[in-house]
Amino acid sequence: MQVPMAQVLDPGAGSLSSQVELFVSCRELKNMDLLSKSDPFVVVYARERNDVPWKEYYRSKTIWDNLNPDFPDQILLKYQFEVQQYLRFEIYDRDAEDEDLSKHDFIGAANTTLASIMGGRGSVWSSDLTNSKTGRPGSGKAPGKIIVRGEEVASCKDVAELQFMASNLDRKDWFGFGRSDPFITISRSREDGNFVKVWESEHILKELNPVWKPVTLPVQVLCNGDLDRPLKISVFDWNSNGTHVLIGEFSASMRDLQPGKSFTLEDPEQRRKKGKKYKGSGMFTVRHAAIQKRFSFLDYIRGGCELNLMIGIDFTASNGAVSTPQSLHYQGASLSQSMRNVDDLNEYQRVIVSVGEILQDYDTDGKIPVYGFGGAVSGQVQHCFPLTFDDSYPEVTGIEGVMTAYKNAFDVVSLHGPTLFTPLLRCANGYAREHCTQAKQSYTVLLIITDGVINDMSSAIEQIVYGSELPLSIVIVGVGAADFTNMETLDADDEPLRANGRTMKRDIVQFVPFRKFYNQHYTALAREVLAEIPEQLVSYMSSHGIRPNPPMEPSRRHLAVERSQRMINGGTQDDASVSDAPYALPVPAPDSTAPSAPYQL
């Protein structure tokens, strides 16, 4: 779990900064469990001054049953020579699925600075952990040691598609009589000659001829963009108590990992014992290897791709009578006064301004279709009606046009119900389906603002599953004090939605309750709900073979877009995904230092 840290680590425009990566290891951790070993994970905090609170920046994966963990997480952050960047590392033993740190055993902590890490010999910093959460030296025996390795990140947007298999692996279970449970680790070399683990595969139970799942990994993570950098590829026998046993390993570079190529796995201990009789501990084969070009969100935007905002507003009776101050639709101040002071807006208006101000910069013509649902128009209940009340022209101009249409709608619409999403989702799907080609690229973002749980969950899921195949993202903001627990189902972060035997192709829904941001600046909502949009856009484009068009001439629109993107990202790493046709890893050119041209698979 990575938490954006714009306030702490983003150097801002004009700063001469670099991006660096950190890898964390621990040794001799205190065992917090009685019947097994600790299950450690690390939480990283950051700040730029000693007189401000720590803010969580990163939380690693959990390493099970291990007192000497090498965390494979790549922790990315900005490095500034001219700014002191304080870091704190806290190590915990996981005791529950809950992310509340109070539910886990604290093992130890250590404080340092990014300068101490990057300025250390070989950009390595190590320290005893303290049993105090302050990170300052405490009393008693240290509960372990921490080692942090840093390196500047090379600029590389490519990703590697890999799949591996092995055959005739040594038996490591039951004193050589049981079949092994193999998994792979890849470690890359550092300038100091040591290796740092950057990836670990799933383990396969009781299999001496395993075929591991395909995986897509950033080339930057694997070798920091250097295809000739030495890698160590190891195969271990997995054990539930964390005492994994090496089956064999070999060294190679990314350039060496050609499809169909095999390598002998060697166990140094077996080699020492058996000498010349030792023939290896199995064969490791590259089943598939290719590199794909990866494009960023801004690559598409620079090529002219537009984001089309579409808005749906809840007009059900549960919002409360519009004329009463208790109503979620109550509009006390005049529109001109409210637009100057966001605090005077009702929750619907604040959501519209927060999200709309960002997205309107991405749309050249500024035309926004605005719909209502759950209201009675001239006495007839409708579940998808344009606030222009003209079916042939549902669009208004800009956010001010949206606000005006919303305010004037109550002259025609009376609140009713029930709350149905299906007609609106069907309309959005139709709109998105017609608006994206290679030549004319666009992507639709549907913003739904509602005050309650929907009454057509099953059919709404059907439309979302269908929409996951279209250039569409859906942002749902719940206003008011209703219980929105069931709405989390639509978010599908943990389990993809399914309907009529089909599974959603992409996660396209983001749901948040507005009350979570009620006491924050109104832009905080936009940062939360729009953070996933760039990745969703690129995911759609890449999966449909749509590449960015050549960059357009710079314009005011593009400058505004890039400002908005920096705001959404909060200084986090570039949102990007895979696109373009794959090419195989370049074959080394004999007697030449120049890299050879890639070839098609």
Spatial distance between the Cα atoms of 249 and 127, rounded to a whole number of angstroms: 30
Please say if the pLDDT value at position 264 is more than 80: yes
Rounded-to-integer distance, Cα 582 and Cα 290, Å: 6
Quick check: 599 pLDDT over 90?
no
pLDDT value for 332: 74
pLDDT tens for each residue of 547-579: 898 876 654 545 555 555 555 555 444 444 444
| Percent of the chain at pLDDT exceeding 70 | 84
Residue 337 clears pLDDT 80, i.e. is over it: no
Residue 506 in this model has a pLDDT that exceeds 60: yes
Among 329, 350, 333, residue whose Cα is nearest residue 415: 329
CATH, domain range 159-293: 2.60.40.150
- The rounded distance, in Å, linking the Cα atoms of 113 and 165 is 42
For residue 600, what pLDDT is reported? Answer: 30
Cα separation, 384 vs 395, whole angstroms: 14
**C-alpha atoms less than 13 angstroms from C-alpha of 367 in its C-beta half-sphere:** 5
- Asked whether the domain spanning 159-293 has the same topology as the one spanning 6-152, the reply is yes
What ranges do the domains of the chain cover? 6-152, 159-293, 297-577
- In one letter, which amino acid is 497? L
526 compared with 134, residue with greater pLDDT: 526
The one-letter amino acid code at 510 reads Q
Q: How far apart are CA 558 and CA 550, in angstroms?
A: 14
Q: At what angle do helices 556-569 and 523-530 cross, to 10 degrees?
A: 90
Higher pLDDT residue, 175 or 535? 535
pLDDT at res. 174: 67
355-379: average pLDDT: 87
Backbone angles phi, psi at 247, to 5 degrees: -90, -50
**405 pLDDT above the threshold of 80:** yes
Q: Letter for the amino acid at 196?
A: V
Map tokens 């025609």 to a residue.
412
Kindly indicate the confidence band of residue 14, based on its pLDDT and cuts at 50, 70 and 90.
very low
What's the confidence (pLDDT) of residue 572? 43
CATH-assigned architecture of domain 297-577: 3-Layer(aba) Sandwich (3.40)
Which helix (H) or strand (E) element contains residue 356? helix 347-359
| pLDDT, tens digit, 9 for 90 and up, residues 407-418 | 999 999 999 989
Bridge-based pairing of strands 195-200 and 215-218 is unpaired
Residue 60: pLDDT over 80: yes
Mean pLDDT of 24-48: 92
Task: Tell me whether residue 561 is exposed, middle or buried, using C-beta atoms within 10 angstroms of its C-beta: 0 to 12, 13 to 18, 19 or more.
Answer: buried
Torsion, Cα 136 142 147 148, to 10 degrees, reads -20
Mean pLDDT highest for which of 74-78, 254-258, 581-585?
254-258
More confident residue, 14 or 37: 37
136 pLDDT band, cuts 50/70/90, is low
* pLDDT, position 586: 52
In CATH, what class is 6-152?
Answer: mainly beta
Q: Which residue has the higher pLDDT, 267 or 300?
A: 267
Residue 19: predicted pLDDT: 82
Report the pLDDT value the prediction gives residue 470, as an integer from 0 to 100.
94
Distance, CA of 463 to CA of 339 (rounded, Å): 34
Position with higher pLDDT, 393 vs 307: 393
Query: Looking at residue 186, what is its pLDDT?
Result: 96
- pLDDT at residue 561, rounded to an integer: 53
Residue-wise DSSP of 248-282: EEEEE-GGG--TT-EEE-B-HHHHHHHGGG---S-
Q: What is the mean pLDDT of the chain?
A: 83
DSSP E strands in 276-340: the ranges are: 283-292, 294-296, 306-314
Share of the chain above pLDDT 90, in %: 47
Which range (14-28, 187-201, 213-227, 244-258) has the least confidence? 14-28
Tell me: pLDDT of 43 over 80: yes
Mean pLDDT along residues 486-497: 79
Per-residue model confidence (pLDDT) at position 388: 94
pLDDT in tens, 196-213: 899 999 999 999 999 999
**CA distances from residue 572 to 229, 307, 539 in whole angstroms, order as listed:** 26, 21, 18
**SS3 at position 77:** strand
The reported pTM is: 0.60
Per-residue model confidence (pLDDT) at position 2: 38
The full DSSP string for 454-492 is: -S-HHHHHHHHHHHTTSSEEEEEEE-SS---GGGHHHH-
Q: Where are the beta strands (DSSP E) in 317-441?
A: 367-373, 375-377, 380-382, 385-386, 395-397, 413-415
**3-7, 196-200, 529-533: which range is least confident on average?**
3-7
pLDDT band (50, 70, 90) for residue 3 = very low
What pLDDT shows up at residue 26? 95
Burial of 583 (0-12, 13-18, 19+ CB in 10 A): middle
pLDDT score recorded for residue 333: 59
Q: How far apart are CA 300 and CA 388, in angstroms?
A: 31
Please state which of the ranges 107-116, 480-489, 584-593 shows the lowest mean pLDDT: 584-593
Give yes or no for residue 373 having a pLDDT over 90: yes
Q: Tens digits of per-residue pLDDT, 211-247?
A: 999 998 989 889 988 899 999 999 999 988 888 999 9
Amino acid letter, residue 332 = G
